[in-house]
Structure 1
């Protein structure tokens, strides 16, 4: 009998009814054969892919540009004047541009599809009675899924078990707080936000554990319904695309202005209107650097590839630009500033404090042995082994453990002390669990053995002491006095000040135990101080960020003294710093006074913070006008990661929610990689600025030259086809080389760039105009010299202008070096791609003059050596003038 799918109101079913309706088993789940049958029947658990543009539409959209319209107009005019070869050549350039753009877009689409295949969410499902981890796309209706904190829910599902389960459903319901879940049957007409017995695809588990029956997959989910409504939404341009678009519009206006001036002046002077039209076409061709979009895309792709090699995977293109503007980094402590390798360092029992170490799986005591606390030590080992969710890693090596680093350290402690964790778990069968949460900061487990029930608990000292009413000293259990509490808290403060992460341990094995709320009337046993050493390479990265004008702020859930100690060791604050804000002291954002606002902005260490407080801290910095990068690894970091200007997730220990929310994923979880990513983000944008300045100055020089020669030597001015050749050959290859450069390594010695600024500032436009003027001067000098001494033939003069401008543009690439760099040894001369580009361009120039057909198309002639010498020497003029100017300016600025 087939199951009825989809079900309209699965929340109105009881646990028994939903299991029957989907023909499954709450304990053993579906069989593998049944799951495969349902996959064939209902399809994979993926959304109906948004309808992609057809190949033909993709090609047609390559021509959707004002610049292309201008070039098509040029083609029409040249055809009208029967310049067929020129018209075909311009058309060929348009087609080449379109083909390159088409191939880039096709490659991008293929790459995105490949990334989607790689970025598969895995889910735990019960099949044939065994818990398996499978890609979420293979989930089918009726599957029994197993849920725990950090999981992304693979489909809509009805809960059949719920243990303190909470889900973050803001993407569906708008509720900012997690929703408490249960298995109760509900009415049909209940609102989505009140369907507490359901979990929904794309939301995440923030707390607790549970099991659920999949009732909807793919488009038959709440998220699938929403997705179908937004499929038609338009793609947003990245900030860089907008800035390049603004640049293009400015170039068009410059062209129209120059063309208008030339046309009006020509008409007044009585020039032939055909000549005026041909020159106007040349100006329109000269205006826009056709290779700019190609160069920008290649440069960004290359830069992102290099960032990946530096352990930073960039998911969003706009993140590259945002990185260069970041001036505040909010970072976690554990694993980012520290090694995330937890070691047991200190025991603190009621009657003694002992330093310990574990080497070769043997526990050693600093003073030889335990003098007074053997009974407490044995109980501590038992609690640590039982109140623990570590499991062996799947595969051949069963000795490798996965789970929380502290819990792994507790397993190692039990094993090193002579106990076997697995044996203890068999002796004490677990019957209940209260998972750790960011609110309670306590984890507790309930166990049953031959003597009755046993409660094991661990958590933050201050929170666990509230649950304790007694204390064990030796073999004696007595009431926990206020004096005892003060002594324990003082001892924990002292351990935290030493940089240790401190946890308290307690138990209960006497009297009546409430099996639903067993974390009461506990017996305090001891504290353990865990050491997570700071990374050795952090100090240098901190200093680099400070020099770069970036403020580093630590936000952690740890004890304030522990956080301050680590902050001092890594160089985040100086040794005298005593100020750390604790989460409990931060008022609600709605009632945040100016005084508190200033206090938050001036503090570098936040401890014991909640997810909402992380979000509030990000918002406070953003309101102050900062560009904020936020690091995180957990589900509770996701809101802050999303709120920040650029979210950075940890690749090793990060949850799927954090990775999906973030713009960048660190492969090694190291703060050093964050600093390197910021540095490389700045270098990439600096490269973009360099090749944009290079391309625009070259194109502006062409506008100046066409206009100038149009007045003084109309018959000798550059032709549209010659300009196209320069734009696609002598411009693009050097520009690509600049885009692939390593950048100026001093970028981290300057403050961040203002993100509101366009690619080119007013100062840049002045510089560009100066560069264009020097190249124009070089061409005019060569033209007039050859006209006076070599030949007055307009075709020869035209060729002189063409060759001179080509070499002037090639030599001009060396003007793109940093202002204060050495002329012979700098970021340009050390860029191997620049030299390769110059060789390619020179070879192409030689080929053009060597092949008769090419000469004919470009209207070139075989020229005497004297013309070549004059043109090459004149082409050096821009390089010499700019370098002299830089030298004079540098001397003035150094005084």
Structure 2
């Protein structure tokens, strides 16, 4: 029995369903929670133990709602009013003993259902692939080190570290906090941040009042802390809610609404023409049943019911193509907006630059030098004054860099392991290269308190207890901000008063360095005997450090592409104005005479005059800007009817990201809050990826328009031919099965090929189109009618020419006329796909359509299917086709190419789009 108990305790104790001892973790002392979960608050779990627990508890993820099974997708293909009409036509055929026609219509229904099933199933698979591309990381203690792991790998007992901007990835009991506040509105509806602590609470306290707990799906608004994970996956509070909402329906996207809108117009056009065809046929003596079959088949052929699926496939294909270029678009509807973006408000660090921040300049006392950090050789190369290493201020500079820092850095076996803010990582690299140990500093000076960095204060400070039981304050921040908190400066071995004159000298020196493109930070300290709450007073300046972040090599070309595409690029940064202007000039965003708008001079939006608004609209560089001012800037652009893309990485960027038409979060350095509210995530943080996404957005919308125009002009040509033949009581007409066959051959493959066409040559040289523009506007509706008319006229002319030139001595041969009409229409529609390029001034043979290999494959497949209808005798009998001579075939091919040439001529002469 003892062996069995030991086995249960060692193997099954960590199952979430057996966590009764910590079910009300908020009511238990945090040390007891750690003990019950058999973990270590300092070192966390071992890799082996976490793997064992993961195997038992399962992945930490919220299960998605029940997916639609392939069988249901297949059944849904038959739940269409048009398919019902087709089935009625088949039933009527069987009733009148037209067995071959009835069987053929059933076969067409099945083929249509299979094609629809395959397209919808593939669209679902494509969207699944997109969902798998995004993973949320979490920082935990494993094997005594703080490491980043996928949130799905979290297990009960993990020691989780969170800080401002992070999404909380599991339910956890807090064990250590530093000014920690969380936004729990997703769970509780409370809009104000919640102050967190580690004090135990009553067991019956409400969720909104559990101030010592963190909950999955909420966000850290401020500060940082450590917590022990108690629940994961569906056992979390968020999991409980997810169970109730898994089957909620997703609202239609704007694109789907646009498709529905113009489909309604098409239905009315179709209904009107079908009624005309039916009445004219009956009045001209055709059989009622035959005309009913023709009308139903015509209605089915005219309405492109697979259009929403093809559109979804095109979007999913384009989004996956973006994903291969490090862009994750979270919403299908965002693709439309991307194509219409005409303003991009972008951060500088990591987006325009490489985000490989390194220390490049150090100044202590009156000594200054440019430096290079050499990690492999653990050395710093001094370009100007190596004597800096002998100054006491340099020692304090290294100490503050290591202590006032939440990042981590290790260099082992020529492999760098880093996490945290890139600038803080750059500081740790400098400490490492100087031969000092960050771990030793942190062990010698234990952190006791912290004021986290914020975009409002631009300063960070930490309080540390040393081995002598005295306290050491370490602070870093923007030069002009931190110097305001300094009352003394370290010169030599002496701490002397920091006079206003000396402050001006330091500020001027930092300003000059910033103008050369360096990002300048000041570092200060203070020794104290008492633990203080206010860490930012009477500080002693140790020195300043300048950082460099090289521009991305491809950025200049990307900005030039934006300019040619009519997109204004605005750089918004928290950096010094001089640094921002230097970078902007290198990028071509600003000239020497252009002004940089400083955050201090930016009035609240409600107080802006027209002159102020015009000044903002003209500017391309904004420096020292806070999140509220970013929001005001987005509001102003939108007020001027501009479509705004906004980049952001921090929790404070969330309002501007949400307000923007396209919120763009950083994938590498972006907080989970920013990624959650954004519409698009850049996995590589590169500005060039934004440009690529806009280009792809324009391409996708263009492609949707192309296959919509193609489908409608082809289907409308069938309507016009049949309506003309019925009204004029011509000796020839298309049969119902022929209409269905034409629709099957010419609609599916070319439409899909158009949906994956690469971008047109000059797509980024056009002005952005309005986001509220219809898929098919008045100009394109006109083009559709003209294209349909040309195809209809050349097709009917082919029949008349054949009779006039080849068979004038004979009486009208209705079967031959029907065959010429049938094949001419098919080949005209197949060739019509090459008319779907709308680029001006581009040779026909150099268009994106002509160079699309999928179009050629689709054309070849359609021609083969068409010829099979002639070669395969049973199919030939069903379709009632028998061509008489090669001259008849010559007329068919000639007429088909004439329709292509006439449409091309109409486009060349600017008659049509």
Q: TM-score, normalised by structure 1?
A: 0.91
> How far apart are the structure 1 equivalents of 2:746 and 2:535?
77
2:388 and 2:394 in contact (8 A); partners too = no
1:421-458 CA deviation, whole Å, 9 max, x = no partner?
Answer: 45545554555444323333223334455565433221
Partner SS, residue 762 of structure 2: helix
What is residue 817 of structure 2 aligned with on the other side? 797
1:276-326 CA deviation, whole Å, 9 max, x = no partner? 323323421331235534543443343334323333233332232221111
Question: Shift of the alpha carbon at 1:878?
Answer: 1.5
Partner of 1:488: 506
CA–CA distance in structure 2, aligned partners of residues 186 and 588 of structure 1: 42
Quick one: distance in 1 between partners of 2:546 and 2:759?
A: 45
SS of the counterpart of 1:202? coil
CA spacing shift, 1:191–1:441, aligned 2, 3 Å: farther
Indicate whether 1:808 and 2:828 are aligned: yes
Structure 1 residue aligned with 2:727, among 705, 708, 711?
A: 711
Matched, 1:157 2:172: yes
Cross-structure match for 1:212: 227
| Cα offset, 1:350, TM superposition | 4.2
Q: CA deviation at 1:688?
A: 1.8
The correspondence of residues 90-109 of structure 1 with structure 2, limited to 5 A, is 90-109=105-124
Name the structure 2 match of 1:838: 859
Are 2:489 and 1:471 equivalent residues in the alignment?
yes
Q: Tell me, in whole angstroms, the C-alpha distance in 2 between the residues paired with 1:883 and 1:441.
A: 61
Distance 2:775 2:606 in 1: 37
Deviation at 1:419, TM superposition (A): 4.2
- 1:673-721 CA-to-partner distances (Å, cap 9, x unmatched) read 2112211211221122112111111111000011112233566211222
User: CA, structure 1 residues 389+21, in 2 after alignment: closer, same or farther (shift >3 Å)?
Assistant: closer
C-alpha deviation, 1:470, in angstroms: 0.9
SS of the residue 1:882 aligns to: helix
Residue 552 of structure 1 aligns to a residue whose secondary structure is strand
For residues 98-247 of structure 1, the aligned pairs below 5 Å read: 98-110=113-125, 112=127, 119-125=134-140, 134-141=149-156, 143-174=158-189, 178-186=193-201, 192-247=207-262
Q: Is the 8 A contact 2:201 2:210 kept in 1?
A: yes
Residues 199-256 of structure 1: CA distance to partner in whole angstroms, max 9, x if unpaired? 2111122433322243444444443344344334212222222222223222221111
SS of residue in 1 equivalent to 2:910: helix
Query: In 2 relative to 1, CA 288–742 (structure 1 residues): closer, same or farther, beyond 3 Å?
Result: same
Corresponding position of 1:499: 517
Residue pair 1:6, 1:216 contacting (<8 A) in 2 also? no
- In the alignment, the residues of structure 2 paired with residue 888 and residue 104 of structure 1 have an alpha-carbon distance, to the nearest angstrom, of 38
> Which aligned pairs between 1:194-593 and structure 2 lie closer than 5 A?
194-269=209-284, 271-289=286-304, 292-358=307-373, 362-370=379-387, 374-392=391-409, 397=414, 399-449=416-466, 452-509=470-527, 511-582=528-599, 584-589=600-605
| Equivalence for 1:79 | 94
Q: CA deviation at 1:401?
A: 3.6
Within 1, Cα distance between the matches of 2:28 and 2:433?
A: 50
In the TM superposition, what is the alpha-carbon distance from 1:462 to its structure 2 partner? 2.4
Q: Structure 1: where are the runs of 5+ without partners?
A: none
Alignment partner of 1:201: what SS? Answer: coil
| Deviation at residue 506 of structure 1 after TM alignment | 0.9
The question of whether the paired residues in 1 share the 8 Å contact of 2:123 and 2:313 is answered with no
Distance change >3 Å, CA 777–CA 6, structure 1 → 2? farther
- Mapped partners of 2:626, 2:95: distance in 1: 72
Q: CA RMSD in A?
A: 3.4
Contact 1:161–1:212 (8 Å) recurs in 2: yes
Between the aligned partners of 1:96 and 1:414, the Cα distance in structure 2 is 69
Does structure 2 conserve the Cα–Cα contact (< 8 Å) formed by 1:350 and 1:488?
no
Match of 2:717, SS state, is: helix
**C-alpha spacing 1:782/1:459, structure 2 compared with 1 (3 Å):** same
Map of 2:74 onto structure 1: 59
C-alpha offsets along residues 479-519 of structure 1, whole Å, 9 cap, x if unaligned?
A: 1122222332233233222221110011123x424254444
Q: Secondary structure at the match of 2:345?
A: strand
Of 692-701 and 511-520, more deviation after overlay is shown by: 511-520
The count of corresponding residues between Structure 1 and Structure 2 is: 890
Q: Which residue of 2 aligns with 1:733?
A: 749
Partners of 2:368 and 2:385 within 8 A in 1: no
**How many Å apart are 1:274 and its aligned residue?**
3.2
**1:552-574 deviations in whole A, cap 9, x for unaligned?**
12222222222222122212223
Give the C-alpha shift of residue 770 in structure 1.
0.6
* Partner SS state of residue 90, structure 2: helix
Q: Distance in 1 between matches of 2:338 and 2:594?
A: 29
Matches of 1:400 and 1:47 in 2, distance apart? 30
After superposition, the C-alpha distances for 1:100-150 in whole angstroms (9 at most, x for unaligned) are 333444444455556555644343445787766554445455554333344
Rounded Cα–Cα distance in structure 2 between residues aligned with 1:8 and 1:427: 38
The answer on whether the counterparts of 1:581 and 1:603 sit within 8 Å (CA) in structure 2 is no
Partner of 1:853: 874
* Structure 2: runs of 5 or more not aligned: 1-8
User: 3-state DSSP class of the match of 2:589?
Assistant: coil
Kept in 2, the 8 Å contact 1:505–1:525? The answer is: yes
TM-score (norm 2): 0.89
**Cα distance between partner residues in 2 of 1:254 and 1:688:** 21
Cα distance between partner residues in 2 of 1:694 and 1:748: 23
Secondary structure in 1 aligned to 2:405? coil
CA contact (8 A) 1:252 1:288 kept: yes
- Comparing 253-262 with 533-542, which one deviates more in the overlay? 533-542
Cα distance in structure 2, aligned partners of 1:487 and 1:176:
45
Q: Which moved more, 1:81-90 or 1:696-705?
A: 81-90
Moved more, 753-762 or 185-194: 185-194
Shift of 1:31: 8.3
Deviates more, 1:433-442 or 1:11-20: 11-20
- In the alignment, is the contact (CA less than 8 A) between 1:15 and 1:160 conserved in 2? yes
Q: Which among 724, 727, 731 is matched to residue 740 of structure 2? A: 724
Contact 1:345–1:355 (8 Å) recurs in 2: yes
The answer to whether the 8 A contact 2:123-2:312 is kept is no
Q: For 1:769, what is the secondary structure of its paired residue?
A: helix
Query: Which residue of 666, 673, 679 corresponds with 2:682?
Result: 666
Q: Does 1:683 align with 2:704?
A: no
Question: 1:6–1:220: 8 Å Cα contact kept in structure 2?
Answer: no
Structure 2 SS opposite 1:745: coil
State yes or no: 1:627 paired with 2:647: no
| Aligned mates of 1:587, 1:91 — CA distance in 2 | 70
Take 2:859 and 2:632, find their aligned partners in 1: how far apart are those partners? 53
Moved more, 848-857 or 437-446: 437-446
Q: What is the CA distance between 1:171 and its match in structure 2?
A: 2.5
**1:726–1:626 Cα change, 3 Å:** same
Q: Is the 8 A contact 2:179 2:451 kept in 1?
A: yes
2:407 and 2:167 map into 1 onto residues whose CA distance is 20
2:573–2:625 contact (8 Å) kept in structure 1: yes
